């Protein structure tokens, strides 16, 4: 199973385009949304969508290629990164330079939307509690 960089970038872009207006969504929420989308896809189709490797840490679920891919997207002027104060913490926020036209099949799009819909409404603290209850993490 080899990491699918293009699919990963596409999924990351899709997730970012769906949470750009959520002031509480930073790296932790995005990373967790990537994980659950991949895992839900795996449960249905027998392989993860992006074939990413996820690591568990005190800070939550960490996608192995996240930093490398986001740095590349920043260099290609597709993303903007900014640290923003948010109550008692600092969020690592990623913004798309322009909203993309991402095309997924209806089946795939519905699965992704179901996977991320409730996750992007949570802040980092709540999403870490949610992820810690998942027996697969």
Q: What is the pLDDT along the chain (137 residues), one digit of tens a residue?
A: 799 999 999 999 999 999 988 888 999 999 999 999 999 999 999 988 999 999 988 778 899 999 999 999 999 999 999 999 988 889 999 999 988 889 999 999 999 999 999 888 887 888 888 887 765 65
pTM of the model: 0.89
Instruction: Kindly state whether residue 15 falls inside one of the protein's structural domains.
Output: yes
Domain extent, residue 85, equals 5-132
Residue 131 contacts by C-beta under 8 Å, 6 or more apart in sequence?
Answer: 32, 35, 36, 60, 61, 137
Q: CA 59 to CA 125: how far, in whole Å?
A: 10
Split into its structural domains, the chain has a count of 1
Instruction: Kindly state whether residue 137 falls inside one of the protein's structural domains.
Output: no
* CATH number, position 77: 1.10.10
Q: CA 25 to CA 93: how far, in whole Å?
A: 7
Structure tokens at 131: 């992820």
CA angle 48, 52, 57 (to 5 degrees): 115
Instruction: Kindly state whether residue 118 falls inside one of the protein's structural domains.
Output: yes
Q: From residue 14, how far is each of 26, 96, 108, 130 by CA, in Å?
A: 15, 10, 12, 22
Instruction: Kindly state whether residue 77 falls inside one of the protein's structural domains.
Output: yes
Q: Give the position of tokens 């199973």.
A: 1
Q: CA 81 to CA 84: how far, in whole Å?
A: 10
Alpha helix ranges (H) inside the chain? 5-19, 27-45, 66-75, 106-117, 124-132
Structure tokens at 108: 């795939």
């Amino acid at each position: 199973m080899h990491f699918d960089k293009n699919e990963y970038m596409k999924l990351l872009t899709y997730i970012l385009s769906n949470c750009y207006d959520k002031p509480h969504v930073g790296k932790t929420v995005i990373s967790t949304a990537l994980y659950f989308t991949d895992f839900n896809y795996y449960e249905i189709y027998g392989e993860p969508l992006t074939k990413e490797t996820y690591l568990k840490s005190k800070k939550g679920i960490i996608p192995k290629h996240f930093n490398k891919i986001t740095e590349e997207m920043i260099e290609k002027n597709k993303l903007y990164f900014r640290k923003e104060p948010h109550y008692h913490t600092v969020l690592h926020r990623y913004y798309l330079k322009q909203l993309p036209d991402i095309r997924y099949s209806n089946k795939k799009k519905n699965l992704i939307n179901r996977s991320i819909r409730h996750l992007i409404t949570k802040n980092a603290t709540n999403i870490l509690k949610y992820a810690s209850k998942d027996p697969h993490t």
